[in-house]
Amino acid sequence: MKAECDHAVDYLYQYIDEELTWSRRLRIRWHLKRCGHCVDAFDFEARLKERMRECGKDEPSQELFDRIRALIDKETAESQDT
């Protein structure tokens, strides 16, 4: 592995989390254009992150939505009784 690869991998997570300055992002993006090894590594991590984000957004919110709707239904029914 080249020294430049070490540098790119060091910033892998920050790059994916978009916590890097534009100059560092540009440098890593430039490296990725030329280095297949790092492209694979970045691609895998980026997809993993994306999948985790999707799961965290979709699954609990649907469950939460159902739970809230059930609560509202229950409250509506109770308020109608009194």
CB of 3 to Zn ion, least distance (A): 10
Cα 72 to Cα 22: distance, rounded to the nearest angstrom: 47
Residue window 15-44: x/- pattern of binding to Zn ion, with contact defined by CB under 5 A: --------------------x-xx------
Contact 16, 42 (CB under 8 A): yes
Question: Which 8-state DSSP code applies to residue 1?
Answer: -
Cα 23 to Cα 43: distance, rounded to the nearest angstrom: 20
- Closer CB to Zn ion, 15 or 38, in the complex: 38
12 belongs to the binding site for Zn ion (CB under 5 A): no
Instruction: Please report, as ranges, the residues that interact with Zn ion according to CB under 5 A.
Output: 5, 35, 37-38
